[in-house]
């Protein structure tokens, strides 16, 4: 008797999802709680586990299809795995006399063919027939003519990513061509498309890729912010010397005690919490014809994920220690990379900090994350000449940008807030004595 696999409840207000990738194929064995598919929602990507052990007997939707919460998308049958119906048994003969190895027809060794070359190509599909490749990765493998069995995957659970394929292709181009390569007359795999000629310099190509649900949501929300809020950005620069000195002095004992590196973000979160006490409107939001003020600071920290920018929330940051802040941010960064962030991780948030400096950004005008009213943009640190005590000296400087909703926050309040952050960073002692 088959067991239905349904789309689970994915979070508040989430009613549908997109099938991002099937991780198991029909006929493959699955264990209890083993992921069989990845689902993309408006906020996160989650893996769908199998409710029972058995064999994946049926996929009711294809990758890229939109499914509603509660919909049956697959069925798990009892018993052990069997070969997929479309794959002939290993060693079977096809109508044209080709030998099938792991479902892939290959030419038999013939006169003038290099047996070692055949074995190299033949063994890989047989040994690695269970490789799970996403559509984008599969397309890259075919276009670049690389062997996925020889690629070390850096994705979750060792899965191969598109970047892994590109690196393998680049390494292949740099390697000397084998002597026997020109002797290969017939295609190695009939199921794969014929090898394409080398691209001519100047040739133009286009590729259409459907936007992920996460990217669609990001586009909608950012455009909504521009259409609704009266956006304005104010700038300042900050001397990072004191924070850099503090990190250099305490990074080793800090890491030894707390098991986490002391980063810049902890200083900025504490500085924002301090400044928000003096300028509470920056940590507020508009709701209808009312202003909602918060006596807590839930900081949305922008984190780069494989499929886009996500903003998990560090809650009650105003009462957290440096160590707790750094541990929370590091945990979110790992979950974003692994694709295990949940909708609850990104729910809420009263203020956002975005650090474009890690990518080399010198200056930017960040967009607020509705219904929040402000976002602080951090940028790269670089030495610039500044005047100190009448002398021109080099200092590690960073530009800060505060984008805010002018409907709620006046220019004077925005500038005051940013100056408070600047003062706390240039003199971290203020963070300790609450000044």
3-state DSSP of 268-281: HHHHHHHHHHHCHH
User: For the chain, what is the largest distance between any 2 Cα atoms, rounded to a whole number of angstroms?
Assistant: 89
pLDDT score of 149 more than 90: no
Confidence class for position 135, pLDDT limits 50, 70, 90: low
Q: How far apart (Å, rounded) are the C-alpha atoms in residues 243 and 240?
A: 5
Q: Is the CB of residue 82 less than 8 Å from the CB of residue 55?
A: yes
Count of structural domains within the chain: 3
> Does 158 map to a domain?
yes
Angle at CA 117, nearest 5°, toward 111 and 121?
120
pLDDT score recorded for residue 308 = 64
Q: Does 220 share its domain with 198?
A: no
* Residue 144 tokens, joined: 């670049």
Most confident of 12-26, 209-223, 277-291: 277-291
Residue count of the chain: 435
- Region of 434 please: left (phi>0), alpha (psi -120 to 50) or beta: left
Q: Are residues 250 and 355 located together in one domain of the fold? A: yes
pLDDT of residue 131: 58
> What is the DSSP code (8-state) at residue 300?
E
Are 205 and 292 found together in one domain? no
Q: What is this structure's pTM?
A: 0.60
Using CA atoms, how far residue 175 sits from 142, 172, 178, 180, 187, in Å, is 19, 5, 9, 14, 22
- Concatenated DSSP letters of 380-418: -EEEEEEEETTEEEEEEEEEEEEEEETTTS-HHHHHHHH
Looking at the structure, tell me whether residues 195 and 225 fall in a common domain: no
43 and 187: one domain? Answer: no
Give the CATH number, domain containing residue 17.
2.40.50.100
CA atoms within 13 A on the CB side of 191: 14
Domain shared by 238 and 307, yes or no: yes
Active site residues: 406, 410
344 plus 281 within the same structural domain: yes
Percent of the chain scored above 90 by pLDDT? 34
Task: Say what the pLDDT of residue 286 is.
Answer: 94
Work out the angle between the directed axes of helices 264-278 and 241-258 (0-180°, nearest 10). Answer: 110
The CB-side HSE value for 61 (13 A sphere, CA atoms) comes to 23
Out of 107-121, 153-167, 247-261, 337-351, give the one with best mean pLDDT: 247-261
Contact 265, 355 (CB under 8 A): yes
Residue 239 CA to residue 249 CA, distance in Å, equals 17
Residue 369 has pLDDT above 50, yes or no: yes
Q: How far is CA 60 from CA 26, 67, 76, 139, 408, in A?
A: 11, 10, 11, 23, 49
Encode pLDDT of 385-417 as tens digits. 999 989 999 999 999 999 999 999 999 999 999
d(CA 74, CA 8): 13
The residue among 151, 183, 210 that closes a domain is 210
Over the stretch 176-186, which tens digit does the pLDDT of each residue have? Answer: 544 444 444 44
36 belongs to a structural domain: yes
Q: Which of 295, 314, 302 is nearest to 218 (CA)?
A: 302
End-of-domain residue from the set 173, 188, 210? 210
What is the domain-level CATH number for residue 274? 3.30.559.10
pLDDT tens digits, 249-281:
998 999 999 999 888 999 999 999 999 999 999
The strand pair at 35-40 and 16-22 is best described as antiparallel
CA nearest neighbour of 352 among 426, 405, 299, 416: 299
**Confidence check: pLDDT of 52 > 60:** yes
Residue 283 vs residues 105, 244, 277, 278, 402: alpha-carbon distances, Å: 63, 27, 9, 10, 12
The whole-number average pLDDT for the span 282-311 is 87
pLDDT of residue 139: 67
Reading the block at residue 320, the tokens are 């957290």
116 and 195 part of one domain: yes
Given a contact cutoff of 8 angstroms between Cβ atoms, the answer to whether 109 and 88 are in contact is no
State which residues form the domain around 265: 214-433
Clarify whether residues 158 and 293 are in a common domain.
Answer: no
The answer as to whether 30 is a domain residue is yes
Same domain? 415 vs 313 = yes
Alpha-carbon dihedral 41, 44, 45, 50, rounded to 10 degrees: -80
Q: Write down the pLDDT at residue 372.
A: 93
Measured CA to CA, the distance from residue 24 to residue 37 in angstroms comes to 7
Q: Beta 374-378 vs 391-405: how paired, if at all?
A: antiparallel
Q: Give residue-wise pLDDT tens across range 106-127.
A: 333 333 343 333 333 333 333 3
Q: Where are the alpha helices (DSSP H) in 303-359?
A: 322-338
Enumerate the H helices of 101-182 as residue ranges: 115-127, 135-144, 162-174
Q: Choose among 387, 357, 383, 374: nearest CA to 417.
A: 374
Does the residue 409 lie in any domain? yes
For residues 252 and 194, membership in a common domain is answered with: no
Domain membership of residue 314 (yes or no) is yes
Looking at every residue in the chain, the average pLDDT score rounds to 78
Range of lowest pLDDT (201-215, 248-262, 292-306): 201-215
Confidence band for 43, pLDDT divided at 50, 70 and 90: low
Give the chain's count of helices (H) and strands (E). Answer: 9, 21
Residues 306 and 402 in one domain: yes
Angle at 307 between CA 283 and CA 317, to 5 degrees: 25
Q: Which residue has the tokens 């690196």?
A: 167
Q: Is the pLDDT of residue 130 over 80?
A: no
Other Cβ atoms within 10 Å of 360 Cβ, number:
9
DSSP state of 131: -
Instruction: Report pLDDT for 97.
Output: 44
DSSP bridge partners of 375: 352, 403
Count of CB atoms within 10 A of residue 76's CB? Answer: 23
**Alpha carbon separation from 302 to 72, 117, 327, 366 (Å, rounded):** 34, 49, 15, 11
82 assigned to some structural domain: no
Range of lowest pLDDT (51-60, 150-159, 269-278): 150-159
User: What share of the chain has pLDDT > 70, as a percent?
Assistant: 76
pLDDT bin (cut points 50, 70, 90) of residue 205 is confident
In a domain, 84, yes or no: no
Q: Kindly state whether residue 47 falls inside one of the protein's structural domains.
A: yes
The better pLDDT of the pair 144, 401 is held by: 401
Last residue of a domain, one of 210, 239, 260: 210
């Amino acid at each position: 008797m088959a067991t239905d696999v349904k789309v689970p409840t994915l979070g508040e207000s989430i009613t549908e999802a997109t099938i991002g990738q099937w991780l198991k194929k029909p006929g493959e064995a699955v264990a209890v709680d083993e992921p069989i598919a990845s689902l993309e929602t408006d906020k996160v990507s989650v893996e769908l586990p199998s409710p029972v052990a058995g064999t994946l007997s049926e996929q009711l939707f294809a990758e890229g299809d939109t499914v509603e919460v509660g919909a049956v998308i697959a069925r798990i049958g009892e018993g052990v795995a069997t070969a997929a119906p479309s794959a002939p048994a290993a060693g079977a003969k096809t109508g044209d006399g080709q030998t099938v190895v792991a479902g892939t027809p290959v030419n038999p060794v013939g006169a003038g063919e290099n047996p070692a070359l055949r074995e190299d190509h033949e063994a890989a599909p047989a040994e690695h027939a269970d490789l799970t490749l996403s559509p984008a990765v599969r397309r890259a493998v075919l276009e670049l003519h690389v062997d996925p069995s020889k690629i070390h995957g850096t994705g979750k659970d060792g899965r191969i990513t598109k970047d892994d394929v590109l690196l393998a292709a680049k390494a292949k181009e740099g390697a000397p061509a084998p002597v026997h390569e020109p002797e290969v007359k017939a295609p190695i795999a009939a199921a794969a498309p014929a090898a394409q000629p080398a691209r001519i310099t100047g040739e133009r190509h286009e590729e259409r890729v459907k936007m992920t649900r996460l990217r669609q949501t990001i586009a909608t929300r950012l455009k909504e912010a521009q259409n609704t809020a009266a956006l304005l950005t104010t700038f300042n620069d900050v001397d990072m010397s004191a924070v850099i000195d503090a990190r250099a002095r305490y990074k080793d004992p800090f890491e030894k005690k707390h098991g986490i590196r002391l980063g810049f973000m902890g200083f900025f979160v504490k500085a924002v919490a301090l400044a928000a006490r003096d300028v509470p409107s920056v940590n507020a939001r508009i709701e209808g014809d009312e202003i909602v003020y918060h006596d807590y600071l839930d900081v949305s920290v922008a984190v780069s994920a494989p499929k886009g920018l996500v903003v998990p929330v560090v809650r009650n940051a105003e009462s957290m220690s440096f160590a707790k802040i750094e541990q929370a941010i590091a945990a979110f960064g790992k979950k974003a990379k692994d694709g295990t962030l949940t909708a609850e991780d990104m729910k809420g948030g009263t203020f956002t900090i975005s650090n474009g400096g890690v990518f080399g950004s010198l200056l930017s005008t960040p967009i607020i994350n509705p219904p929040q009213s402000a976002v602080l943009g951090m940028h790269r640190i670089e030495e610039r000449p500044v005047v100190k005590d009448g002398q021109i000296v080099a200092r590690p400087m960073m530009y800060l940008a505060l984008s805010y909703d002018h409907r709620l926050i006046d220019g004077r309040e925005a500038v005051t807030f940013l100056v408070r952050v600047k003062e706390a960073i240039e003199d971290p002692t203020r963070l300790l004595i609450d000044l």
